[in-house]
Chains A and B, each alone.
Chain A
Amino acid sequence: MRKVAEGAEADIYEGRLLGIDVIVKRRRRKPYIASGLETDLRLHRTRNEARIIGVAKAHGINVPPVLMVGLDTIYIGRIDGEPLSSFLLHAAPRERARIFADAGEALRKLHDLGVAHGDYTPANMLVDGKHQLWVIDFGLAVQSASVEDKALDVLLLKRAINAPNYNAFLKAYSENGSVRPVLLKLADIERRGRYQTRSLSELVRRQD
């Protein structure tokens, strides 16, 4: 097992287990957080993440398989792909639109299941060799998500990508009427005073 990355809450290791390439995600102890809360977070999130990946997989969403779950450790099948954020740097516009349509469909399916992802950004999506989209990192996911939780998924992605990509995403996401309350909530959140003035980077992003 080789440590490949350090996330905000977990250390990520890569290795082989019984002939399968695996990713091991182990939640770090955070001694600076009150111990009750710290244990709550670490153990709850591990269980929660494994459970939600299972639910998503059972409903045909492209998520990596969970192989094994410990108290604070998850063993996940490794997906051979690159992060969407780096895929975007070299993909043609049509390719990008298609991948964001897949991202829209995946999020709609998750939301229809009552699940919010919690950090739905290009950093948490992979594109494999067949240009298939995989959704990863369900560490912040919520199983019985409120409409606001779902709207924040959309808002987070909206802020992280440019307008054409967002439009491709939105078209697929809102294909059937099920997410209408989410989009109404999103409009509501965006009307909150502090977000009305657009930032420099956002203004530029709208133009590309």
Chain B
Amino acid sequence: MAVLGIESSAHTFGAGVVENGAVLSNTKAMYRIESAGMIPSRAADTHSRNAARVVRSAMKQAGIGFDDITAIGYTKGPGIGHCLRVGMLTAKTLSNTLGVPLYPVNHALAHIEIARHLSGFRDPLALYVSGGNSQILGMVSEPSRHYNVYGETFDIGVGNMLDNFARAARLNPAWGSSVARLAAGGHYIHMPYTVKGMDFTFTGLLTCAVKMLSEHKPSDVAFSLQETAFAMLAEATERALLLTRRRNIVACGGVAQSGRLASMLRAMAAQHDSKFFAAPNEYNADNGAMIALVAEKMRNAHVRVPERELTVMQKFRVDAVRLWW
């Protein structure tokens, strides 16, 4: 009863196999980002070259054959159109060949659900932080079960903000961890801090930090930028935690790999007798297993997906997805 998941929303092409909630394999190949950032068409080319190999290695690592696959999930969005299409076509081809159902999966939902699954929390508050997204969410049952966005960025995602800064400071990819390394030993300089209730904005902070690079030590700027951005996220999350009276927090998405962010959130949660969980990095980076996990939930809930919905959607909001489980 194994389910195969295929992820290709950005620079990672991932494939993973899940069976009854247990991850049997999780493999990937990445487009190498050069200093120019990600070029969508080239990333998609790389994905098409890697697709077959990655899927095969996921099968091999799981120790199963194609006959054991009973359903397939793929990332429908949000993400980069060129890249999403490669994953969708790979999944459609396999689904048609094997004669198994195909499930379109929301990428953000997959990050949150795998973090929730691994945490063991039933109804946590989720902070989803990646390149393009920064949202605070929780499950609600009205009008039907879905993840409600309590707060989010009004402009850019925190990951893209760090990437942009890193490029201005001429750091090497992967930029998030380069900023973290540069920040070590830095001292605090005042920077704009913008939280609006449970929402926040990052462009003012980014502009200020880039300007400061010419007058201040790069390590001080990187330190202050990182501290300010993460403190903003922690504060907005704290407000949502108290407002929704939840007792558990999970962090997920690429930026949740940051040790500094995790330590801030853990300490904040502890002040309110709440528990904090961040998924292992393997699942916070883009991966196929999380897509398989959600596809399996959809299969178990007998979700029927009409053919016309088997597409890609670059701006696919997580709060537009109904949860059938």
Contact = CB atoms under 8 A, between A and B. Distances in A.
A152 B199 contact: yes
Interface residues of B, number: 43
A199 B148 CA distance: 8
Contacts of B140: 201
Q: Which of B154, B187, B197, B271 has the most CB of A within 10 A?
A: B197
A194 B315 contact: yes
Interface in A140-169: 140, 148-149, 152-153, 155-156
A113 B152 CA distance: 28
Contacts of A192: 154-155
Interface stretch (B28-36, B57-65, B232-240, B246-254): B232-240
A8 B269 CA distance: 11
B169 interface: no
A166 to B, nearest CB: 16
In this complex, the interface size class of chain A, counting residues with CB under 8 Å from chain B, is: 35 or more
A197 interface: yes
Contact of A36 (B188, B196, B238, B242): B188
B199 A156 contact: yes
A28 B227 CA distance: 18
A110 B193 CA distance: 21
A155 to B, nearest CB: 8
Contact of A8 (B199, B238, B322): B238
Interface string B248-290: 0000000000000001100110011000000000000000000
Contacts, number: 99
Interface string B120-155: 000000000000000000001011101011001011
A175 interface: no
Given A32-B263, A34-B227, A119 B320 contact: no
A30 B230 CA distance: 13
B268 A197 contact: no
Interface in B268-325: 268, 271-272, 315-317, 319-320, 322
A98 B201 CA distance: 32
A41 B191 CA distance: 11
The dominant DSSP class at the B interface is mixed
B66 to A, nearest CB: 35
Given A8-B235, A192-B155, A140 B196 contact: yes
A33 B264 CA distance: 7
A18 interface: no
Contacts of B239: 7-8
A28 B267 CA distance: 13
B193 A6 contact: no
B235 A200 contact: no
A35 interface: yes
B267 A32 contact: yes
Contacts of B224: 34, 37
A38 B89 CA distance: 49
Contacts of A155: 154
A90 B195 CA distance: 31
B143 A37 contact: no
Interface string B148-171: 110010110000000000000000
Most buried by B among A31, A32, A41: A32
A32 B268 contact: yes
Given A33-B234, A35-B188, A37-B188, 13 more contacts: A8-B235, A32-B234, A140-B195, A140-B196, A152-B201, A155-B154, A196-B315, A197-B317, A200-B146, A201-B146, A201-B148, A204-B142, A204-B143
Complex A-B, nearest 3 residue pairs according to Cβ-Cβ distance, in ascending order: A36-B188, A32-B267, A199-B319
19 contacts: A9-B238, A28-B271, A32-B263, A33-B234, A33-B264, A34-B223, A36-B188, A37-B224, A119-B197, A140-B197, A149-B196, A189-B154, A192-B155, A194-B317, A197-B317, A200-B144, A200-B320, A201-B148, A204-B142
Interface of A: 6-9, 28, 30-38, 40-41, 118-119, 121, 123, 140, 148-149, 152-153, 155-156, 189, 192-194, 196-201, 204
